[in-house]
Amino acid sequence: MSRTAGTAGGMVAAMVAGLLMCIAGTVPAWAQEDQKPKFGPDAVPITRAADYLRNTPAPDYWALSPFYVPQTTSASCSLASVTMMLNALRGLPALASERLVTGRQLLDRVDDDHWRAATADDGEGVSFGELIAYVRRSLAAYGIDAEVEVWRPRDASPATLTELRRILTENERSADDIILLAFDQGTLTGDVGLGHVAPLGAYDPATRRALVMDPDRLWYVPYWTSDARLLDAMLKPDRADPEGSGLIRVRARRVSG
């Protein structure tokens, strides 16, 4: 028997075995992955829950959504999120000669080799501490005078959750402040766990759900998740942040150009 024929015969045998497993009620691993829902039970895509955005001002969502961009590599969520934040705070430029902020332009302005390498195709991303530094440097690079508030949860206690709800509720009142979330993506989406960064699109205090403007556009659209689950995702440690992550709230005071 030739090698080619043997390989083809093996493929046929595997397909038959898989069919028999399905008939018997046992689904093979590859089929289970194909049948897995896009989102896990802790995330509701915006396509199925838009009432809040239709019925309330939702200032942060409308400030961010015109500038919603994807990360261009698997490691560039920080770059995409900071780019969205800058554009939302600056607003649409008045003159035809003025450009919107892009990820490439932002990297050139900040001019940091580590951020370039960390967000490249084979990059490892940035830690929460590094993200804080790049947010500050990016604001300075674009002449945005802003107060930067960093919140890192200590635990999953009721007191900590109450504090998170206070921050999210306050932030929802105007588009003058934008929150960047640093969290474990898999905790929310039900997929592989990894450190991730995304802007907060909105917060509905009635349902206690936060809208995550996830820049991972290869796989996701914006999705709602409970504030309690968001807290869990912030607390989950990873390689870069063994103590967990948190959020960065940026309040703009003046835009100079």
Q: Which residue has the higher pLDDT, 21 or 128?
A: 128
Cα 58 from Cα 17, distance rounded (Å)? 53
Look at residue 174 in the predicted model and tell me its pLDDT. Answer: 95
Tokens found for residue 110: 């900040």
3-class secondary structure, 166:
helix
- Position 35 confidence tier, pLDDT thresholds 50, 70, 90: confident
From the number of C-beta atoms within 10 Å of its C-beta (0-12, 13-18, 19+), residue 94 rates as exposed
Instruction: Decide: 214 and 76 in contact? Cβ < 8 Å.
Output: no
Mean local confidence (pLDDT), 88-116: 95
- Does residue 7 have a pLDDT over 50? no
Q: What rounded mean pLDDT belongs to the chain? A: 88
Tokens found for residue 128: 């929460």
Mean local confidence (pLDDT), 223-243: 94
Cα 44 from Cα 63, distance rounded (Å)? 21
Mean local confidence (pLDDT), 72-94: 96
Cα 128 vs. chain centroid, distance in angstroms?
Answer: 13
CB-based contacts of 1: which residues, under 8 Å, 6+ apart?
9
Instruction: Decide: 73 and 123 in contact? Cβ < 8 Å.
Output: yes
Instruction: Decide: 209 and 203 in contact? Cβ < 8 Å.
Output: yes
Instruction: Decide: 107 and 78 in contact? Cβ < 8 Å.
Output: no
Q: Which residue has the higher pLDDT, 173 or 10?
A: 173
Give 240's strand partners. none
- Does residue 126 have a pLDDT over 70? yes
- Position 254 confidence tier, pLDDT thresholds 50, 70, 90: low
Look at residue 257 in the predicted model and tell me its pLDDT. Answer: 42
- Position 2 confidence tier, pLDDT thresholds 50, 70, 90: very low
Cα 12 from Cα 9, distance rounded (Å)? 5
- Report pTM: 0.85
- Position 4 confidence tier, pLDDT thresholds 50, 70, 90: very low
Residue 141: name the closest of 173, 170, 105, 174 by CA.
105
Mean local confidence (pLDDT), 218-241: 95
Pairing of strands 144-151, 209-212: unpaired
Amino acid letter, 102: T
Look at residue 36 in the predicted model and tell me its pLDDT. Answer: 81
* Interior angle at CA 77, CA 113 and CA 216, nearest 5: 145
Q: Which residue has the higher pLDDT, 64 or 39?
A: 64
User: Which residue intervals of the chain are DSSP H helices?
Assistant: 3-24, 29-35, 51-55, 59-64, 77-90, 103-110, 113-118, 128-141, 158-171, 185-189, 227-235
Look at residue 37 in the predicted model and tell me its pLDDT. Answer: 85
- Position 33 confidence tier, pLDDT thresholds 50, 70, 90: low
